[in-house]
Amino acid sequence: MSDFAETLTEHQRKRARLYAYFACYFGCVSEVMLDSSAIVILYIGMLGGGSMLVMLSTSFTGILNMLLMIPAAVLIAHIGMKKAVVTACVTGCVGYLVMASAPFFGPVGRIVAIIGCMIYCLQRSLYSTTWFPMLDAFLRKEDRGSFFGTMRYTYMIFTGVIFFLLGKVMGKNPPMILMQSVIGIAGLMILGRLYCMLHFPQNNREEKPKRTFRQSLGISIRNGPLTSYSVYICLLSISYTSLVPVTLIYLKQYVGLTADTVQIFSTVGIAGSIIGYFCYGRMLKKLKIKRMELLTHFIFIFAAFSMFLLNKDMTFFLWMAGAVYFMSSFAASMYMCNNSTELLALARPGNKPMAMAFQQTYQNIGVSVGRAGTSLILGANLLAPVWNVGKLSFCSFQTLFLLYGVIATIILILFPTLPAIVPKHHDYYEPMR
């Protein structure tokens, strides 16, 4: 728990939480648009990008975060958190504006869109490494679960309404100028996030670490609970992070749904996330973190195997796929809150940016391996387009769902190593009681 948070008045903590909520509202549109919505997927497709290029755009965040999280923590130690936030938000805005300008570049427009996507993803490691330490300055241990649940619940309602309305407005063949405008506005909204974060209370003791880079990294590596949790989420991220984008690509390119139907379908996932975030605080108090982590893991396994077994010719296929998509998004929202809660519990005071960068580096190794690996598999046509088992027929996308389910099942073996299972350690671990 941050001692600094205890020195603040309740009014100061409440005011800081409100700024944090609005920082999410301004910044979440661009994040959800890239991570969970069909907008960017459809946009790159309209510019002539194929399955490999579309899937590659979803993997940039994981690849760059894997490489840049720890360097970002080092940079923050030199320039401070506020300057890091300014750099991150301005870079993110520029990335989306470049993406929006892609059609003006003619035949190379899809490459420009990918470059803009990469520019945006470049800043996410710097932003993420500052976000949690800045929250910890005003969040007490007992505030974590309810804060993360409420924050994500409300911003998913916000984005859910926006993307549902966009699906209605887009129609079957959305005009390019509409897609450009939506992406450009999402980029400009990132500057609103910057304004809000500059009003967070600042814990100057975290701004000037007394340790060297090697000492800080060594402390994180020797923290057994942090290391075991980091390895677990790395492997879990391989299996679950491609479920959402692959499902949307599957529905568009194999099932043959129209663009507006795919976008509206994606809001089912947003609804699942909203419900997950809304319920999280209450569920955490009743089930505690170890049961929440186990429940989340089993839902991922169920969702992956269900998408593998569903066939597009089944009666009510779209309804069943929507239910599974809802459940996978529900589990993803719980995973995000579990991860954020454990991240603050595992980050040792005085070493928070490095501890959080260390954990998120492992997480993003999993994201990059999962999504980049999926992209290469699709691009190289490594899977049989169609294969049969008796009377059942499966496509390459369903093979991927089977692979995700098998990986998630295998890594259940690591569950007993999680800090929440054995919460008493000699190393640092301060969970919510």
pLDDT at 91: 95
Mean pLDDT of the chain: 84
pLDDT at 431: 65
Residue 51 neighbours by CB under 8 Å, 6+ apart: 249, 253, 378, 379
End-to-end Cα, the chain, rounded Å = 12
Output 4 or 320, whichever has higher pLDDT. 320
pLDDT at 410: 95
pLDDT at 300: 94
What are the tens digits of pLDDT across the range 402-431? 999 999 999 999 988 888 887 665 666 776
Output 184 or 165, whichever has higher pLDDT. 184
Q: Confidence class of residue 186 from pLDDT cuts 50, 70 and 90?
A: very high
Q: Confidence class of residue 327 from pLDDT cuts 50, 70 and 90?
A: very high
The mean pLDDT value for 295-318 works out to: 91
User: Domain-by-domain residue ranges, the chain?
Assistant: 3-417
Output 141 or 400, whichever has higher pLDDT. 400
pLDDT at 1: 42
Most confident listed range (84-98, 111-125, 304-318, 362-376): 84-98
pLDDT at 423: 63
Give the amino acid at 311: N
Share of the chain above pLDDT 70, in %: 92
pLDDT at 198: 92
Give the amino acid at 123: Q
HEC sequence for the chain: CCHHHHHCCHHHHHHHHHHHHHHHHHHHHHHHHHHCCCHHHHHHHHCCCCHHHHHHHHHHHHHHHHHHHHHHHHHHHHHCHHHHHHHHHHHHHHHHHHHHCHHHHHHHHHHHHHHHHHHHHHCHHHHHHHHHHHHHCCCCHHHHHHHHHHHHHHHHHHHHHHHHHHHHHHCCCCCHHHHHHHHHHHHHHHHHHHHHHCCCCCCHHHHCCCCCHHHHHHHHHHCHHHHHHHHHHHHHHHHHCCHHHHHHHHHHHHHCCCHHHHHHHHHHHHHHHHHHHHHHHHHHHHHHHHHHHHHHHHHHHHHHHHHHHCCCCCCCHHHHHHHHHHHHHHHHHHHHHHHHHHHHHHCCCCCHHHHHHHHHHHHHHHHHHHHHHHHHHHHCCCCCCEEEECCEEEEHHHHHHHHHHHHHHHHHHHHHHCCCCCCCCCCCCCCCC
Lowest mean pLDDT among 83-87, 94-98, 176-180, 352-356: 352-356
Q: Confidence class of residue 326 from pLDDT cuts 50, 70 and 90?
A: very high
The mean pLDDT value for 138-149 works out to: 82
Lowest mean pLDDT among 35-44, 78-87, 205-214, 325-334: 205-214
Closest CA to 264 of 362, 165, 191: 165
The mean pLDDT value for 273-279 works out to: 86
pLDDT at 297: 94
pLDDT at 207: 52
pLDDT at 412: 92
CATH architecture group of domain 3-417: Up-down Bundle (1.20)
pLDDT at 140: 82
Output 213 or 388, whichever has higher pLDDT. 388
pLDDT at 260: 76
Output 205 or 110, whichever has higher pLDDT. 110
pLDDT at 262: 82
What are the tens digits of pLDDT across the range 63-122? 787 788 888 888 887 888 889 999 999 999 999 999 999 999 988 888 899 899 999 998
Most confident listed range (214-223, 304-313, 362-371): 304-313
Are 303 and 246 a contacting pair, CB within 8 Å? no
Output 123 or 267, whichever has higher pLDDT. 123
